[in-house]
């Protein structure tokens, strides 16, 4: 009688050990892979007391990107990897440090806390530069300029921003649109979700009447579902900046330099065409941002 539960315990312990070792060996494989394809490019070594030096010491740079926003940051189900415009920029910056980029999911609601608590070193997550956010973190120079737009099912009665009044509008919690829509169309019935992919689910199942956010994010949704259409309203200008820990001027300089180089050496154009340009009309296409950080900050002033 007594030996039975003991056997069970031993079996459980063995099973746990086997599982744990499997999990560990899986991690081990990852590490090997990442050291194998180290870039051959010569990189500048930074002093250990700078953020760049600390990242180089660690050998990896944690970058917060979106996982559900094609074409900027999304988990490609075919390759199983995160891809997109933001991801490519992150890879470029990590390469300049000679480290491996590690992409972590950072959505509109949690990205700033993740940066502040040091879980990630930098945010590249379709983040509009605003003065309010600038109080918590620092921004790089703009690396992309998106425009505010509205997505509706084809044939919808909603054709202008005012038409959102009385209608259910989906946007992400913590995004600039939460405020913009509240100000521009106070009677809109805002539905705030964590992820833009949830907005897509909601508009596909008729649980909301419209989705409002950056046109590039909405374009990604139209690519996935062609029964939806963009209104082309362009009612806001949303310059994206990389998020950098507050007061880290050396790191900001490094990121600004990297972005400038990214634009100057033509990589920006190349990736724009790859992720955005090919999906939109030629007259809608744009070049690298001409707006400066200072001008960008004035677009979304902090009011209290």
Partner 1 sequence: MSELWGVLEEHLPEFSSGLWVTFRLVAASLLIAIVVGTLVAAMRVAPAKWLNRLGGVYVETFRNIPLLVLLIIMFAGIRRGGLLIDPWVAAIASLGLYTAAYIAEALRSGVFAVGKGQIDAALSLGLTYPRTMRRIVLPQAFRTVIPALSSLVIAMIKNSAIVGASLVALPDLLKQARQVQADTFQTGEVFFWAAVGYLLLTVTATIAFRYLEQTYAIKR
Contact footprint for partner 1 (CB under 8 A): 108-109, 112-113, 132, 135-136, 173-174, 178-179, 191-194, 198, 201-202, 205-207
Q: Which residue, 136, 85, 100, 97, is CA-closest to 115?
A: 136
* Closer by beta carbon to partner 1, 110 or else 267: 110
* Closer by beta carbon to partner 1, 17 or else 207: 207
Report, in Å, the least distance between residue 82 CB and partner 1: 22
* Closer by beta carbon to partner 1, 170 or else 242: 170
Report how far residue 69's alpha carbon sits from residue 71's, in angstroms, rounded to the nearest whole number: 6
Report, in Å, the least distance between residue 271 CB and partner 1: 29
Report, in Å, the least distance between residue 303 CB and partner 1: 11
Report, in Å, the least distance between residue 108 CB and partner 1: 8
Question: Virtual CA dihedral for 286, 225, 106, 65, nearest 10 degrees?
Answer: -40
* Closer by beta carbon to partner 1, 101 or else 241: 241
Report, in Å, the least distance between residue 173 CB and partner 1: 6
CA 49 to chain centre: 28
Q: Which residue, 172, 51, 50, 53, is CA-closest to 111?
A: 172
* Closer by beta carbon to partner 1, 117 or else 282: 117
Report how far residue 265's alpha carbon sits from residue 277's, in angstroms, rounded to the nearest whole number: 18
* Closer by beta carbon to partner 1, 87 or else 114: 114
Would you list the DSSP string of 250-273?
A: HHHHHHHHHHHHHHHTTHHHHHHH
Contacts 24+ apart (CB under 8 A), 130-134: 130/176, 130/297, 130/299, 130/300, 130/302, 131/297, 131/298, 131/300, 131/301, 131/302, 132/300, 132/302, 133/243, 134/297, 134/302
* Closer by beta carbon to partner 1, 113 or else 287: 113
The encoded tokens of residue 74 equal: 């999304």
φ/ψ of residue 75, rounded to 5: -85, 110
Report, in Å, the least distance between residue 143 CB and partner 1: 23
Report, in Å, the least distance between residue 135 CB and partner 1: 8
């Amino acid at each position: 009688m007594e030996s039975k539960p003991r056997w069970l315990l031993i079996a459980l312990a063995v099973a746990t050990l086997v599982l744990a070792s499997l999990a560990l060996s899986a991690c081990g494989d990852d590490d090997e892979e990442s050291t194998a394809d180290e870039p051959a490019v010569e990189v500048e070594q930074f002093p250990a007391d700078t953020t760049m030096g600390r990242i180089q010491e660690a050998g990896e740079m944690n970058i917060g990107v979106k996982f559900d926003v094609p074409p900027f940051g999304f988990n490609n189900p075919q390759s199983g990897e995160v891809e997109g415009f933001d991801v490519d920029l992150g890879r470029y910056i990590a390469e300049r440090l000679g480290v491996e980029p590690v992409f972590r999911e950072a959505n509109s609601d949690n990205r700033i806390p993740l940066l502040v608590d040091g879980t990630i070193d930098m945010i590249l997550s379709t983040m509009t530069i605003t003065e309010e956010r600038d109080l918590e973190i620092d921004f790089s120079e703009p690396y992309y300029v998106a425009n505010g737009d509205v997505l509706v099912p084809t044939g919808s009665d909603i054709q202008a921003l005012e038409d959102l009044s009385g209608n259910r509008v989906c946007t992400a919690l913590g995004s600039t649109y939460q405020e913009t829509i509240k100000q521009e169309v106070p009677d809109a019935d805002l539905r705030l979700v964590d992820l833009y992919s949830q907005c897509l689910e909601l508009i596909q199942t008729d649980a909301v009447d419209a989705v409002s956010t950056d046109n590039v994010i909405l374009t990604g949704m139209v690519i996935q579902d062609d029964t939806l259409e963009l209104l082309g309203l362009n009612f806001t200008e949303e310059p994206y900046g990389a998020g950098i820990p507050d007061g880290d001027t050396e790191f900001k300089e490094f990121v600004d330099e990297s972005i400038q180089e990214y634009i100057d050496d033509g990589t920006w154009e190349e990736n724009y065409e790859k992720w955005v340009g090919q999906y939109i009309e030629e007259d809608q296409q744009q070049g690298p941002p001409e707006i400066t950080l200072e001008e960008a900050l004035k677009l979304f002033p902090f009011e209290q």
